[in-house]
């Protein structure tokens, strides 16, 4: 984003390396690769992107680093990256930009002033848009208003009373998507009786819904917010060690129960009814939670391919990515 801004506008980065000397920081990156999670490959420059219309639209030139040795590449080093492991902090990206010349509009008629903006036609709130795309308001309602759904979730996952169900909101009357809100966010929405707020997105999604009528409970935790939900579950959880986890990561399709690694793991999985399960890692990723799905006679991970690959790298301690689809096909042919 910063590199694209420097290339498109008269901006420069202010060197703030002398500020807050006690704060550990790292300089900004001037080179990086772009990951294509679908094909599991990395692109170093725009010409590496396959000549495919869909990929050309997805991986645009501004996503790639500036040319090596260019003025923009030198400027990028003035950015600051604060990494959690350096000083027990949060992770932050800091950059201070300064305008070096007036911004010209697209017609080249000079920079717009505050008066120019005031004279423009006022845009109605309901038609607020960005680049032609309307903001879709997301209404949030307390889940406690639907007690039958609350009771079904509590019973199926045997939830402890410690889970703050009053901070869970639904996005529709059907309760298909459930969001977990912070302590301060929910009261703010509750007091907004006149809908002064236009909520675009709120909270972290903790549950989605499966419409299958064969399931005891259609609501399932999602990977995005499982860490907030899983510690309060007393049912539908399985402890998974590194060996069993590696086996699940290597197979994108669910494994038959008899194919699972570990006798205890197989027996516990076999006793579960169909539906969502949460796998609690006990090995290298101890304390982590992964969403899974138990079929009638199978079990598999319910996570994105990119997350699956990242976990596999961490588990195996590998610096290189797994084979791409093309490499797999080539090896299979050989």
34-79, pLDDT tens digit by residue? 999 888 999 999 999 999 888 988 999 999 999 988 999 999 999 9
- On whether the CB atoms of residues 273 and 294 are closer than 8 A, the answer is yes
Q: Could you tell me if 241 and 210 lie in one domain?
A: no
Domain that includes residue 249, residue range: 236-327
> Quick one: average pLDDT of 177-203?
73
Q: Could you tell me if 87 and 7 lie in one domain?
A: yes
Q: Could you tell me if 146 and 192 lie in one domain?
A: yes
Q: Residue 196 pLDDT more than 80?
A: no
Q: How far apart are CA 159 and CA 157, in angstroms?
A: 5
Q: Could you tell me if 26 and 95 lie in one domain?
A: yes
Q: Could you tell me if 212 and 273 lie in one domain?
A: no
Q: Could you tell me if 78 and 35 lie in one domain?
A: yes
Q: Give the whole-number percent of the chain exceeding pLDDT 90.
A: 46
Q: Tell me, what's the pLDDT at 136? A: 56
Q: How far apart are CA 277 and CA 293, in angstroms?
A: 6
Q: How far apart are CA 334 and CA 332, in angstroms?
A: 5
Q: Tell me, what's the pLDDT at 193? A: 55
Q: Could you tell me if 243 and 304 lie in one domain?
A: yes
Q: Could you tell me if 25 and 50 lie in one domain?
A: yes
Torsion of CA 269, 270, 272, 278, to 10 degrees: 10
Torsion of CA 109, 111, 113, 116, to 10 degrees: 30
Q: Residue 131 pLDDT more than 60?
A: no
Q: Could you tell me if 267 and 205 lie in one domain?
A: no
Q: How far apart are CA 113 and CA 296, in angstroms?
A: 66
Q: Tell me, what's the pLDDT at 185? A: 77
In the listed set 181, 208, 227, which residue is the last one of a domain according to the structure? 227
In the listed set 194, 227, 260, which residue is the last one of a domain according to the structure? 227
In a domain, 94, yes or no: yes
Q: How far apart are CA 78 and CA 81, in angstroms?
A: 10
Q: Tell me, what's the pLDDT at 176? A: 87
In a domain, 264, yes or no: yes
**pTM listed for this prediction:** 0.55
In a domain, 39, yes or no: yes
Q: Could you tell me if 222 and 242 lie in one domain?
A: no
Q: Tell me, what's the pLDDT at 126? A: 38
In a domain, 323, yes or no: yes
Q: Could you tell me if 161 and 209 lie in one domain?
A: yes
What are the tokens at 320? Answer: 């290189």
The residue among 185 and 114 whose pLDDT is bigger is 185
Residue 244's nearest CA partner among 229, 263, 226, 224 is 263
Q: Could you tell me if 253 and 186 lie in one domain?
A: no
Q: How far apart are CA 70 and CA 73, in angstroms?
A: 5
Number of separate domains in the chain? 3
In a domain, 32, yes or no: yes
Q: Give the whole-number percent of the chain exceeding pLDDT 70.
A: 80
In the listed set 84, 105, 126, which residue is the last one of a domain according to the structure? 105
In a domain, 123, yes or no: no
In a domain, 183, yes or no: yes
What are the tokens at 91? Answer: 């992770």
């Amino acid at each position: 984003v910063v590199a694209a801004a420097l290339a498109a506008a008269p901006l420069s980065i202010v060197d703030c390396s002398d500020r807050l000397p006690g704060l550990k920081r790292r300089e900004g990156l001037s080179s990086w690769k772009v990951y294509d999670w679908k094909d599991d490959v990395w692109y170093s420059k725009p010409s590496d992107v396959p000549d495919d219309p869909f990929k050309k639209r997805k991986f645009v030139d501004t996503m790639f680093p500036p040319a090596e040795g260019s003025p923009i590449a030198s400027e990028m080093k003035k950015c600051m990256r604060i990494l959690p492991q350096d000083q027990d902090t949060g992770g932050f990206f800091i950059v201070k930009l300064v305008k070096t010349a007036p911004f010209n509009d697209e017609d080249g008629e000079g920079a717009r002033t505050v008066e120019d903006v005031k004279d423009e036609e006022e845009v109605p709130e309901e038609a607020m848009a960005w680049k032609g795309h309307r903001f879709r308001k997301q209404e949030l309602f307390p889940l406690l208003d639907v007690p039958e759904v609350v009771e079904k979730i509590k019973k199926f996952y045997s939830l402890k009373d410690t889970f703050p169900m009053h901070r869970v909101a639904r996005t529709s009357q059907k309760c298909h998507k459930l969001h977990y809100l912070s302590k301060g966010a929910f009261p703010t929405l509750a007091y907004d009786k006149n809908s002064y707020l236009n909520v675009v997105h709120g909270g972290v999604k903790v549950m989605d819904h499966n419409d299958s009528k064969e399931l005891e409970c259609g609501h399932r935790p999602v990977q995005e917010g499982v860490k907030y939900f899983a510690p309060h579950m007393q049912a539908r959880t399985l402890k998974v060690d590194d060996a069993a986890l590696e086996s699940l990561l290597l197979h994108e399709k669910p494994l038959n129960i008899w194919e699972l690694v570990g006798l205890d793991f197989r027996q516990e999985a076999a006793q579960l009814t169909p539906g969502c399960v949460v796998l609690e890692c006990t090995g290298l990723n101890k304390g982590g939670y992964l969403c899974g799905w138990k079929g009638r006679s199978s079990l598999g991970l319910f996570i994105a391919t990119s997350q699956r690959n990242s976990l596999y790298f961490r588990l195996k301690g590998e610096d290189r990515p797994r084979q791409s689809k093309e490499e797999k096909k080539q090896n299979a042919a050989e």
